[in-house]
């Protein structure tokens, strides 16, 4: 097997799927292992890779498949998928809407309901989790992927993000039954500070 020199070429990263804050990187290229470990996507046991990321000092797993057009499709078949929508919401002052849950700053999001468009999901979830209304979608943002565990089984959450704007200026209401303890508009400096205590996939929306 021929390895490409790490110092001269960055692998072609197609997608990142986060396990907590450690990424599984889907890529078509293979490099000599340093802080990461290479795995062939075909026939891979994801649970073993997840355990390795969760229980060891391994910083990253790279899942390799030669066909870039099939990379994501083949990966997503390995676990049940949960489709969600969320919003990066700006008010008229340019502040961004954040929620606080599980000791982390986050953006409002949630899973789609039957027969619901993904934009409708994103707007509904922002309204339910924060009390903010009058939302207008400006543009779609990236899709993020992360793996979580429910009832002893791993699943992949696929979240479609949208930039939104609103002139809403009334009181904010955290959806406490969803574990949200705070909802706040944060300016640029405050948002930068909050992101230090957030998730890697949320941070990617601010790059």
**Which three-class secondary structure state does DSSP give residue 84?**
strand
Say yes or no: 56 and 86 in one domain. Answer: no
CB neighbourhood size of 95 (10 A): 16
State if pTM tops 0.75: yes
Do 97 and 160 lie in one domain? The reply is yes
Is 93 found in the same domain as 52? no
Helix (H, G, I), strand (E, B) or coil at 39: strand
The per-residue pLDDT for range 72-129, each reduced to its tens digit, is: 999 999 999 999 999 999 999 999 999 999 999 999 999 999 899 999 999 999 999 9
The mean per-residue pLDDT over the stretch 29-43 comes to 93
Residues 6+ apart with CB under 8 A from 73: none
Per-residue pLDDT of 154-182, as tens digits, reads 999 999 999 999 999 999 999 999 999 99
Q: In terms of residue numbers, what domain contains 68?
A: 13-76
Give the DSSP letter of residue 79: S
Residues 105 and 158 in one domain: yes
In whole angstroms, what is the distance from residue 167 CA to residue 165 CA? 7
Domain boundary pick from 76, 99, 129: 76
């Amino acid at each position: 097997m021929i390895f490409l020199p790490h110092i001269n070429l960055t692998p072609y990263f197609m997608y990142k799927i986060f396990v907590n804050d450690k990424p599984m990187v889907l890529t078509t290229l293979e490099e000599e292992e340093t802080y990461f470990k290479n795995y062939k996507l075909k026939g891979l046991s994801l649970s073993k890779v997840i355990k390795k990321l969760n229980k060891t000092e391994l910083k990253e797993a790279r899942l390799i498949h030669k066909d870039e057009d099939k990379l994501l499709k083949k990966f997503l078949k390995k676990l049940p998928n949960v489709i969600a929508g969320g919003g990066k919401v700006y008010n008229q002052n340019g502040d961004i809407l954040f929620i606080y849950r599980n000791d982390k700053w986050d953006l409002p999001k949630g899973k789609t309901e039957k027969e619901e468009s993904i934009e409708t999901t994103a707007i509904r979830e922002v309204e339910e989790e924060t009390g903010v209304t009058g939302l207008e979608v400006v543009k779609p943002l990236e899709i993020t992927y992360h793996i979580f565990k429910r009832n002893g089984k791993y699943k992949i959450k696929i979240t479609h993000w949208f930039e939104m704007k609103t002139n809403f200026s009334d009181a904010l209401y955290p959806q406490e039954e969803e574990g949200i303890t705070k909802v706040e508009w944060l300016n640029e400096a405050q948002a930068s500070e909050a992101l230090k205590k957030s998730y890697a996939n949320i941070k990617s929306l601010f790059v």
